[in-house]
A and B are shown apart, each in its own frame.
Chain A
Amino acid sequence: MISQQFEYSAPATLQEALDLLANEGAKPLAGGMSLIPMMKLRLAAPEQLIDIGRLRELNYIRREGEQMHIGAGTTHWDVESSPIVRAHCPLLSETVSNIGDIQVRNRGTIGGSAAHADPSADYPAAFCALEAQFKLVKKGGERVVGASDFFVDMLTTALESGEIIAEVIVPVEQRGTGVSYQKCVQPASGFAIVGVAVRVSSEFVRIGVTGLGAKAYRATNAEEIYTSTHDAAKAAAVVADGADSNSDIHASASYRKHLARIYTQRALKEAASRMG
């Protein structure tokens, strides 16, 4: 039993969930892999939990033309084990297999990870490199927000009160694109001290960085240098420039920046070797 009391509802439909979430003090519960630990630590104290983790309507992986649509309630394991994701968005498969452990991946969801916006979470690096779009819904409204606007600050996103992520939209990877996710693991928690996701082809390069600052970001300066020089070391050298680096007992700000440069170089090289 945890200390705080709350009400719990398990709505049968998304519409019902959105109606309930319009109440002041209501919070969505998906896999619970971040929210329940936060509640135990009394960092979160919702009055009402709306269990969206059981909604079939939020649990799907579909390819539509040149885009992949992944329901927010899709678990890490369902993404990791999906042949469609492996074939069309290998960066997500690779990134998600780095999250936590089997038990966490069995319950944690893609929408929950995005909404929680932990500065050390793995998915956000891939979301930035993929320029993912988030379909957000609330009672009486729907909008689409891109990753660069969605992540606002540490544990803070563009989500408004009563609004949830319904779907994550990412591009189908074209032939000739190589991808890689390179993570420096914090061994006790499994989270990323720094994680770098890269997509590279003969036409473009995208670099997403997590763990370094308060929020994941796309390193456009490093992308520009790589585009003009094709030199992984030169591009990696600027990846942390201007970033307001986190500093904690696991890694100081300057060491984090150093790690970001090293892991960017590794990710660029590996992605380039997979361009095929």
Chain B
Amino acid sequence: MQTTIHVTINGKKRSDTVEPRLLLIHYLRETVGLTGPHIGCETSICGACTVNVDGKAIKSCAMFAVQANGCDVLTIEGLARDGKLDPMQQAFWNEHGLQCGFCTPGMIMTAKQILERNPHPTEAEIRDGLGGNLCRCTGYQHIVNAVKAVAAGKGA
């Protein structure tokens, strides 16, 4: 059975006919061609697939594309404006918040949600907030520093 869904992705509207069993991450990567959100575990643990749906950071491997029908989806590709990085992206760059970069798209989407809800988090709150995103390279310290830098207004 196929269902037609209408979604706004990074500001652009589109419609696609999908099977209900298609996960949102596969829809984004394979149908839409946005390969920024990554697939690390596909078991809702690692957070590499994190995107924002209607203002909320979610793991797109734990959601079917049909559940996003009518929603506004923001992926890492939608953050930069006119070639200028989002402050969080810039802070990850400045603070060396990545090594291989595999976790980075998900980390950035979650990090932005943390600051949207709590603009001046403590270090413990940042670490707790990033609990659903795993990084196998950095040891997290530089990621935490990047989030702190944005909170201190030093992103851009």
A and B held together in a complex: yes
Q: Is the CB of B19 within 8 A of A1?
A: yes
Q: Is the CB of A37 within 8 A of B69?
A: no
Say yes or no: is A2 at the interface (Cβ < 8 Å to chain B). Answer: yes
Say yes or no: is B32 at the interface (Cβ < 8 Å to chain A). Answer: no
CB < 8 Å neighbour of B3 from A8, A102, A104: A8
Chain A residue with minimal CB distance to B117? A81
Q: Is the CB of B62 within 8 A of A190?
A: no
- A1-36 contact mask (Cβ, 8 Å, vs B): 1 or 0: 111111110100000000000000000010011001
Q: How many residues of B contact A (CB 8 A)?
A: 32
CB < 8 Å neighbour of A1 from B22, B58, B129: B22
Report chain B residues within 8 Å CB of A103: 47, 50, 57-59, 62, 110, 132
CB-CB under 8 A for A40 and B43, given A1-B23, A102-B129: yes
- B58-82 contact mask (Cβ, 8 Å, vs A): 1 or 0: 1100111011010000000000000
Say yes or no: is B119 at the interface (Cβ < 8 Å to chain A). Answer: no
Q: Is the CB of A51 within 8 A of B67?
A: yes
Say yes or no: is A53 at the interface (Cβ < 8 Å to chain B). Answer: yes
Q: Is the CB of A107 within 8 A of B21?
A: no
Complex: how many Å from CA A106 to CA B114? 12
Say yes or no: is A100 at the interface (Cβ < 8 Å to chain B). Answer: yes
CB < 8 Å neighbour of B69 from A1, A10, A32: A10
Looking at the assembled complex, report how far the CB atom of B140 sits from the nearest CB atom of chain A, in whole angstroms: 14
- B-side residues, CB < 8 A to A, are 1, 3, 19-23, 26, 42-45, 47, 50, 56-59, 62-64, 66-67, 69, 110, 113-114, 117, 129, 131-133
13 A-B interface contacts by CB (under 8 A): A6-B21, A10-B69, A32-B63, A32-B64, A36-B63, A101-B47, A101-B133, A102-B57, A102-B110, A102-B113, A103-B110, A104-B59, A104-B132
Known: A7-B1, A37-B43, A103-B58. 5 other contacts (CB 8 A): A32-B64, A103-B47, A103-B57, A103-B132, A104-B44
Closest 7 pairs between A and B when the two form their complex, measured CB to CB: A101-B132, A8-B20, A106-B56, A101-B131, A103-B59, A103-B132, A2-B21
